[in-house]
Structure 1
Amino acid sequence: AGVFSTADDLARFARMMRDLGGRGEAIILSPLSVIKMTTPQSPPGKAALRGLGWDIDSRYASVRGDLFPMGSYGHSGFTGTSVWIDPATDTFVILLTNRVHPTTKTSVVSLRSHVASAVAAGIDAVDEDRLRREAFQRRSGDPSESGGSKATEVFTGLDVLARDGFRPFAGKRVGLITNQTGIDRNGRTNIDLLVKAEGVRLSAVFSPEHGIDGVLDQAKIPDAAGSHGAPIYSLYQPGRRRPTAAMLDDVDVLVFDIQDVGARFYTYITTMAYAMEAAAEHGVPFYVLDRPNPITGTVVEGPVLDEELRSFIGYFPMPIRHGMTVGELARMFNQERAIGARLEVIEMERWSRGQWFDETGLPWVNPSPNIRTLDQALLYPGIAILEGLRDYSVGRGTDTPFEFVGADWIDGRLLAERLNRRQPDGVGFYAVERTPRSSKFAGVPISGVQIAIVDREAVRATRLGLEIANTLRELYPDQVMLSEADRWIGDRSTREDLANNQSTDAIYQRWQRATQTFLRQRQRYLLY
């Protein structure tokens, strides 16, 4: 027999685990201990996935039921007891039975699963990053224990402009480049705020890749009609990536307000640059309403883009993870590319470079269909470098894009074992099978690895992507055609280095040496 308890006491224990080791002022476990207990710690090559003392995904994990996601964890007991905790939905399920009375031949395995599924079916999904942030706040009132800087109430450029009554736009016809991320800290859209602003006329709206609502994942985004009366022009169509002269005929000022994710190949910043060029050409002032770099503004890493590889996913010769805000990028593009736009950046208030997005107090909105969490935004600069490979999935069409890589030619267990042996900073790997609902391998079960972040401050995403590329090339040399990834990596020397069996350390160090020139260049344009 083990420990005997009551449902009430087990509920207190589950809340302590949910709150990363604390209840009120009492400190039971450190947050790092809870993370180790609830994230994969199984030895490489083991099919069962366990944390320290907790089950995550093993043959005994039917306690989870059919609906609770990966990332939840729990434990079962011989006498017919179980607990399952899901941080993503702030839920725990406790089941206490006495299946050994009157005989030990009774089973409650299916009952546990049915109960968990019934509970999960009645829960609305919530924001996992918000719950994690709230857990740290409940734990001690100081989110700095998560490894980031102390949380503050950040005001975006939109918040600042709205507070001041949109004075720069008084009497002006405004063209707005935006999408679903263009909201203030209270969740109000920039479109609604401008429509209601006294003396301001919203005359045109422009949408980037994925459309005005950020849900389309297709090569051509159509124009649309908005309920606000202004036309919505798509800037993501073949042959049309910037506002035309006709679109700007009824525009006095052009405004950019979109949340970026901090990666060179994320197309929103190229849309901003192209729009700046159009504004300069037609004599229209250009405003950028600044927003945080969600993965902090302190880490700069990855290969610097070769000029000959410039494209819509690579506008400027900078590292993949640039560590800048959109306002800072606009200042740099305007000067270094001699765009000549009449540029004004409405700066944020109270944002510091070391802050993660979940430390800003701002509401999270998925910036694009396949970046749904802050973890995915952090991994994206590295995992996406191999997205150009034809027969390779980065998790699009699954529930965990950019947290999974796989293919029908990959042995997930072997890949997880090799990657864990390399011990990249801040992450671990475990083998999984996924069936993408769309994109590459749609409807086809594929093997691969899930990436678990255990220390986000330590993660160097581009190095991680390079480590995966090097490992895949070693295991499957005939499958990995790195020439297909040139535009994403942005540096042809990397392909040559890998072909010449250069180590990950050697290649990454070369990348980082090349960033030194960029760091000196960007310093002139930093605002925070």
Structure 2
Amino acid sequence: MTKHRRSAEALRLILVGLVCQAVVSCAAAVTPAAAAPPSAKMTPAEGKAAIGAIVREEIAAGKLPGAVIVVGVGDKVVLREAYGERAVLPNRSPATVDTIYDAASLTKVMATAVAIQQLVERGLIDLDKSAAAYWPAFAANGKADITVRQLLTHYAALPAGIPTRAWSGTEGALDAIVALRPLAPAGSRFVYSDVDFIVLGELVRRVSGQTLETYAAANIFRPLGMRDTGFQPPATLKNRIAPADIERGELRWGEVQDPIAFRMGGVAGHAGVFTTADDLTLFARMMASGGTKGGPAVLRPQSIATMIRPQSPPGGPALRGLGWDIDSPYSGFLAPSFSPRSFGHTGYTGTALWIDPDTQSFLIVLSNRLHPNGKGNILPMLRRIATVAGAMAGGTRQQVLSGVDVLEAEGFRQLEGRRIGLITNRSARDAKGRRTADVLYAAAGPKLVALFSPEHGLDAAREGKIASARDEATGLPVHSLYGETRRPTAAMLTGLDALVFDMQDVGTRYYTYATTMAYAMEAAAQYKLDFFVLDRPNPITGSTVQGPVLDADLVSFITYLPLPVRHGMTIGELARLFNEEKKLGAKLHVVKMRHYDRASWFDQTGFAWVAPSPNLRRLEQAVLYPGVAMVEAANVSVGRGTDTPFEVMGAPWIDGKALAQHLGGRAIAGVRFEATTFTPREWVFAGQPCQGVRIHLTDRNRLDSPLLGIELMSALQRLHSDRFAIDRTIGMLGSRESLAAIKAQVDPREIAPMWSTALDGFRVRRESSLLY
């Protein structure tokens, strides 16, 4: 092994982590308007033109020399095309559809995972047995408890790789693995690891009596008709093989690029297979159809169904099947363009396979993006191509799956056998529009025995104190947490094993549902109950942090911790922050969403808006709420008791025309104002005509809503300082420094920069709690 190749291996392991980070960063950088793929269906001709333009653009930008792309829908291949060149050195050679590519980590799913599942079918391997049951030496150094299933899902907590030094050959690699220690207890951590699949490849050899190379050829590739697929391609095929990068002045051509697999002789469970787009099409068709149609199959339909279902530990940070990626940082650029049941894998050399059983479609991308200088990058191209391929497959826009949807998809495994209480209201619904209460009540596995309701009650429609009652649909008791008590009592929790929280938050500091959750977490910790949060989108985006951070001594029922007005966190992330900063000690489990882009607004997630409280009836009102609600503790109406809450603001003593003129002259981005008169039916100034302004939202992406609140307060103070009870706003504004500045008639645009230091500090505080 050369020094150069050892350095390359170290760099490769670093880049594996960076790929994950790059995917997340790319997703976060998407503007809200482009956060979700288009839902319009594309014809094959339109898709072919769009993908061709994307690939040619990326080739021209130097991201790859060429590629072969295949899109299959149903029983048809609607796109099969080669682009650019297979080689630029030593001579230029065009890419052709029969070009043979180094599949890299596609080896894991094409060969190793299938081989393991075949041996499971034959009763020779048990997924839940220790790997050491088949390879005794593997148990050394704390690895005795690692199961075959954990290896297949990358939850074995083994290191990502092994150093490429001080050993050679397959036996040398295996000895190095025996010497490894896990990074954490088995099943407790997701670590995408090549070691996992090297171990699995060795299990295939020990159980079947054949090397992985021989076994895969006889039991997978030849039976499927994959004529040009296998390890260690013969020299006779060299002219069709796409070369890789240059090592020590020599072009790597026909040998595996992966340094560990190379040192093992070209055959390993994690890398080493070479393949073509046509061969991979045969494999993809088998997986897309579940092995029931479309040609030969080497797995039983039930085995395929098992492999592509979530098999990773409940609540883990990455959702994996048996070998397959379903939802993880590694698939964030592919999965959102297809249905929630889609799955696939990528390869370091520039390969990808994504399959959607719901539409019987698949996307194949084969490239040698490392040729010739090792600097290519196809991640942006993959994301763009996947969007088009999803549209070609049916144009189904990928809906975000909330926590309850993920719980359903995983068969309620996390709640199996538990007696649970659910803290909820009508805003908590699954993707089919069913109440979470009804979903959990009908679920097999958990037993829902009690409901808990927050402010506004189970129907999210009432004001004032709420009495405990009984739910008509389920007959379950409903314990009010906004009546005689705001915290679950011992009597309410008797007989429960866990509390589950599912409600739609609004992304604003002043809202009581998050505090209700925190109080329930305190009770769960006290009575040693598990606490589950079924996560939901931040409707006003989870990417924007704005406004003054609450003074620490102003925390109250409306704000549990010092937060900025727009905290940019989901309810599940808030739970993590509360648990950490308040040292609650809750046994917290956040059921993450799938396909969520934190830059998305609520109407870009696929969910229908269900009013989470009586006066947030439309998303536009929730967008304005952080600003307009800032003044409502004073002697003004913000439209409660009208048909347009938080879209109007006024009082009998306000000069509406003067206020509209003043605010219009401020040129506040994202809104415009007009003078109006309204009469609230209830709340402040009930039955009294109020003059004021109508606030029209014109561009939510440009609006700084907390600054809007400061502008409203400043305008009222300037125009009506003798009548405006500004001191009453402190609980919502949350900043004595800002209040003093408004009173001193400091320009609001000069007040906003005063928040920057505290906001920077909060961004650091929240970082470890973020999930997306």
Structure 1 and Structure 2 fold alike (TM over 0.5):
yes
CA distance in 2 between counterparts of 1:404 and 1:420 reads 15
Secondary structure of the residue aligned to 1:428 is strand
CA distance in 2 between counterparts of 1:512 and 1:399 reads 36
- The aligned counterpart of 1:527 is 771
- The aligned counterpart of 1:293 is 538
Please, which of 346, 349, 358 is the counterpart of residue 591 of structure 2?
Answer: 346
The yes-or-no answer on 1:410 pairing with 2:657 is no
Q: Per-residue deviation at 1:438?
A: 1.0
Alignment of 1:151-170 (within 5 A): 152-170=398-416
- The aligned counterpart of 2:724 is 480
CA distance in 2 between counterparts of 1:345 and 1:304 reads 25
Alignment of 1:305-344 (within 5 A): 305-344=550-589
- The aligned counterpart of 2:632 is 387
Please, which of 419, 441, 446 is the counterpart of residue 173 of structure 1?
Answer: 419
Q: Per-residue deviation at 1:182?
A: 1.1
Alignment of 1:52-71 (within 5 A): none
Q: Is the 8 A contact 1:151 1:359 kept in 2?
A: no
- The aligned counterpart of 2:438 is 192
Secondary structure of the residue aligned to 2:501 is strand
- The aligned counterpart of 1:96 is none
- The aligned counterpart of 2:219 is none
Please, which of 665, 668, 671 is the counterpart of residue 421 of structure 1?
Answer: 665
User: Which portions of structure 1, spanning 4 or more consecutive aligned residues, are displaced by more than 2 angstroms?
Assistant: none
Over 3 Å counting, the alpha-carbon distance change for 1:465 and 1:456 in structure 2 is: same
Secondary structure of the residue aligned to 2:517 is helix
Amino acid at match of 1:210: H
Please, which of 730, 734, 753 is the counterpart of residue 509 of structure 1?
Answer: 753
Amino acid at match of 1:265: Y
Q: Is the 8 A contact 1:296 1:355 kept in 2?
A: yes
Q: Is the 8 A contact 2:428 2:502 kept in 1?
A: yes
Per-residue CA shift, 1:272-295, capped at 9, x if unaligned?
Answer: 111101100110000000000001
The yes-or-no answer on 1:442 pairing with 2:686 is yes
Q: Is the 8 A contact 2:660 2:675 kept in 1?
A: yes
CA distance in 1 between counterparts of 2:706 and 2:694 reads 17
Please, which of 723, 731, 741 is the counterpart of residue 497 of structure 1?
Answer: 741
Over 3 Å counting, the alpha-carbon distance change for 1:384 and 1:406 in structure 2 is: same
Q: Is the 8 A contact 1:305 1:319 kept in 2?
A: yes
Q: Per-residue deviation at 1:443?
A: 1.3
The TM-score with structure 2 as length reference comes to: 0.48
Per-residue CA shift, 1:61-104, capped at 9, x if unaligned?
Answer: xxxxxxxxxxxxxxxxxxxxxxxxxxxxxxxxxxxxxxxxxxxx
CA distance in 2 between counterparts of 1:211 and 1:462 reads 28
Secondary structure of the residue aligned to 2:696 is strand
Amino acid at match of 1:226: D
Q: Per-residue deviation at 1:234?
A: 0.5
CA distance in 2 between counterparts of 1:190 and 1:259 reads 12
Per-residue CA shift, 1:393-429, capped at 9, x if unaligned?
Answer: 0110111100100000111111110000001111000
Q: Per-residue deviation at 1:199?
A: 2.9
CA distance in 2 between counterparts of 1:457 and 1:158 reads 29
CA distance in 2 between counterparts of 1:381 and 1:224 reads 32
426-435 vs 505-514, which moves further = 505-514
CA distance in 1 between counterparts of 2:769 and 2:494 reads 31
Q: Per-residue deviation at 1:306?
A: 1.0
Per-residue CA shift, 1:314-372, capped at 9, x if unaligned?
Answer: 11111011010000000011001100000000000001011011011112100100001
Q: Per-residue deviation at 1:200?
A: 2.1
Secondary structure of the residue aligned to 1:175 is strand
Secondary structure of the residue aligned to 1:247 is helix
- The aligned counterpart of 2:526 is 281
- The aligned counterpart of 1:456 is 700
Identity %: 49
Secondary structure of the residue aligned to 1:320 is strand
CA distance in 2 between counterparts of 1:471 and 1:392 reads 13
Q: Is the 8 A contact 1:314 1:487 kept in 2?
A: no
CA distance in 1 between counterparts of 2:530 and 2:440 reads 17
CA distance in 1 between counterparts of 2:682 and 2:645 reads 11
Per-residue CA shift, 1:458-488, capped at 9, x if unaligned?
Answer: 0111000100100110000011222211111
Please, which of 513, 516, 520 is the counterpart of residue 271 of structure 1?
Answer: 516
Q: Is the 8 A contact 1:157 1:347 kept in 2?
A: yes
Amino acid at match of 2:406: V
Q: Is the 8 A contact 1:152 1:351 kept in 2?
A: no
Q: Per-residue deviation at 1:496?
A: 1.2
CA distance in 1 between counterparts of 2:556 and 2:455 reads 15
Secondary structure of the residue aligned to 2:566 is coil
Secondary structure of the residue aligned to 2:751 is helix
Q: Per-residue deviation at 1:152?
A: 3.9
CA distance in 1 between counterparts of 2:487 and 2:507 reads 21
The structure with the larger Rg is: 2
CA distance in 1 between counterparts of 2:471 and 2:742 reads 49
Q: Is the 8 A contact 1:151 1:355 kept in 2?
A: no
Q: Is the 8 A contact 1:174 1:204 kept in 2?
A: yes
CA distance in 2 between counterparts of 1:174 and 1:420 reads 52
Q: Per-residue deviation at 1:195?
A: 1.3
Please, which of 499, 508, 515 is the counterpart of residue 254 of structure 1?
Answer: 499
Secondary structure of the residue aligned to 1:262 is coil
Please, which of 454, 463, 466 is the counterpart of residue 217 of structure 1?
Answer: 463
The yes-or-no answer on 1:368 pairing with 2:579 is no
Secondary structure of the residue aligned to 1:317 is coil
- The aligned counterpart of 1:229 is 475
CA distance in 2 between counterparts of 1:152 and 1:422 reads 40
Q: Per-residue deviation at 1:151?
A: 6.6
Amino acid at match of 1:502: V
Secondary structure of the residue aligned to 1:246 is helix
Q: Is the 8 A contact 1:314 1:490 kept in 2?
A: no
- The aligned counterpart of 2:709 is 465
CA distance in 2 between counterparts of 1:182 and 1:438 reads 27
Q: Is the 8 A contact 2:718 2:745 kept in 1?
A: no
Per-residue CA shift, 1:30-86, capped at 9, x if unaligned?
Answer: xxxxxxxxxxxxxxxxxxxxxxxxxxxxxxxxxxxxxxxxxxxxxxxxxxxxxxxxx
Alignment of 1:24-173 (within 5 A): 152-173=398-419
Unpaired stretches in structure 1, ≥5 consecutive residues: 1-23, 26-140, 143-149
Secondary structure of the residue aligned to 1:294 is coil
- The aligned counterpart of 2:216 is none
Aligned residues: 381
Secondary structure of the residue aligned to 2:406 is helix
CA distance in 2 between counterparts of 1:309 and 1:151 reads 43
Q: Is the 8 A contact 1:302 1:511 kept in 2?
A: yes
- The aligned counterpart of 1:378 is 623
The TM-score with structure 1 as length reference comes to: 0.70
